[in-house]
Amino acid sequence: MKDIFKLLEDNFHKSGNPLGVRISPSWAAELGIDYGGKRILFTGLSYQLMPFTISALNILEKGKAVSILGKLSKLGLSRLIPKKETDSFYNALRAAYKLLKQSGIDFGFLYEKEPYDGALFYDFGMDWLVDENEARIKKIFEENNVKEVLTISPHSYFMLKNVYDLDIEVRHILELVDLPRVNRILHEPCILARKTDFAEKFREKFQKLAILPKRSGKLTSCCGGPVELIYPELSRAICINRAKELEEEAEIRNVKGKITESTVGFITACPICLMNFLRCGFEVEDYLTVSVREGKFAGGS
């Protein structure tokens, strides 16, 4: 375990993210997003890291012991190849761009300089890295004269708004865009529902967007994602049971998206939830992607 924590730290110091992978900002370049600016779109690398996470977890889960984690550290996570699910995450980023643009919001992006949001370090209690990352983010934002960030990931929103002491305006995308109604079941992320001011400020956007299951809002039930690195089997079991709840809800409501008996087409609003449901074999998409494709903004590419 020590090797794993050390690996995460070393990766962070070498490449700025805990997995030690190179994150390409080509998706933003393709969309023609300007570099920098006082208001920026902040991904915190959270969506981009998830395909690598799925690959790593697939190997970890097949391992018999913690020792496999040590072997992985020697192998180097950066050599793992992202899986086909990659599009699910990048489509969410593209959808965020479209929704913001359609709402008339101007923003830039920091491309290669965009810092990691630090969520994994915070969850593991690696607070010295949280401190380091806070200083790093501050420096990058100051150098680029950033005054306002628009977050997409709930974890980025939480880290920048509640954990770091930053002198900038931190906003969640839902504060700025109106979403169309989609005929899907929404899995609400715990961190938005219970750990941020989201519930008070703009949860009604979720209520208008989609069908909310029995366990939602303050009592939304976790996807199991946060324990996937240490206890992947536990994470999977929690994920499957949560998905079953959503599937049952989908059956009751007979909503669009039910693919087969073992899969269900629901939506979520967090890259970690999306990652965990995908790796457990469920048909799931990000709410932003579905909003753009199926809502009134469809065709607005």
Partner 1 sequence: MPGEARDSRESKDSRNSNQLSFDELVEKFRNAIREELENKDSFNAFQNASESFFSSLRLAFDRFPDTAKLAAEVRKIKENSLENLEYLIDVATQNLERNGIDVFFAKDALDARRYILEELSGVKERTIVKSKSMTLKEIGLRYFLEKEGFEVWETDLGDFLVQLANDEPMHLTAPAIHLSKENIAKLVEKFGELKNRDANSIVRLIADFLREKIEKAEVGFTGANAIAANSGSLLIIENEGNARLVSSLPELHIAVVGVEKIVPSLQDAYKVAEVTWRYAGYEMPSYIDVISSPSKTGDIEKKLVKGAHGPERISVVLLDNGRTAAKGLLREALKCLRCGACLFACPVFGELRGRWGDTYMGGIGVAWDAIINSGEAYKAHALACLLCSRCAEVCPVGIDSGRILRELRASFIRELLGIDRGIKRGNHKF
35 binds partner 1 (CB under 8 A): no
276: three-class secondary structure by DSSP: helix
- 299 φ/ψ sector (left φ>0, alpha ψ -120 to 50, else beta): left
269 binds partner 1 (CB under 8 A): no
Let me know: does 57 contact 228? Beta carbons within 8 Å: yes
Let me know: does 185 contact 266? Beta carbons within 8 Å: yes
181: three-class secondary structure by DSSP: coil
* Helices and strands counted in the chain (H then E): 15, 6
DSSP secondary structure string for all residues of 59-88: HHHH-SSTHHHHHHHHH-GGGSPP-TTHHH
User: In the complex with partner 1, which residue's Cβ is closer, 152 or 270?
Assistant: 270
18 binds partner 1 (CB under 8 A): no
Closest CA to 206 of 196, 112, 144: 196
163 binds partner 1 (CB under 8 A): yes
Q: How far apart are CA 43 and CA 14, in angstroms?
A: 20
**Nearest approach, Cβ of residue 51 and partner 1 (Å):** 22
Let me know: does 39 contact 114? Beta carbons within 8 Å: no
In this chain, which of 33, 120, 130, 209 binds partner 1, going by CB under 8 A? 130
**Beta-bridge partner residues of 172:** 151
User: Measured in Å, how far apart are the chain's first and last C-alpha atoms?
Assistant: 45
31 binds partner 1 (CB under 8 A): no
Q: How far apart are CA 58 and CA 53, in angstroms?
A: 9
131 binds partner 1 (CB under 8 A): yes
265 binds partner 1 (CB under 8 A): no
In this chain, which of 186, 190, 211, 269 binds partner 1, going by CB under 8 A? 190
In this chain, which of 38, 113, 138, 195 binds partner 1, going by CB under 8 A? 195
In this chain, which of 29, 135, 219, 252 binds partner 1, going by CB under 8 A? 219
**Nearest approach, Cβ of residue 258 and partner 1 (Å):** 23
Q: Sheet harboring 284-286: ordered strands across?
A: 186-187, 266-268, 284-286
**Nearest approach, Cβ of residue 213 and partner 1 (Å):** 14
In this chain, which of 9, 148, 178, 248 binds partner 1, going by CB under 8 A? 9
Per 3-state DSSP, the chain is made up of helix, strand and coil in percentages (nearest 5) of 55, 10, 35
**Nearest approach, Cβ of residue 182 and partner 1 (Å):** 25
10 binds partner 1 (CB under 8 A): no
Let me know: does 198 contact 270? Beta carbons within 8 Å: no
Question: By CB under 8 A, how many residues form the interface with partner 1?
Answer: 41
2 binds partner 1 (CB under 8 A): yes
User: In the complex with partner 1, which residue's Cβ is closer, 29 or 135?
Assistant: 135
* Listed ranges 24-32, 87-95, 103-111, 229-237: which one lies at the site for partner 1 (CB under 8 A): 229-237
User: In the complex with partner 1, which residue's Cβ is closer, 241 or 262?
Assistant: 241
Which residues of this chain interact with partner 1, rule CB under 8 A? 1-2, 5-6, 9, 65-67, 122-131, 162-163, 190-191, 194-195, 218-222, 224-227, 230-231, 233-234, 237-238, 241-242
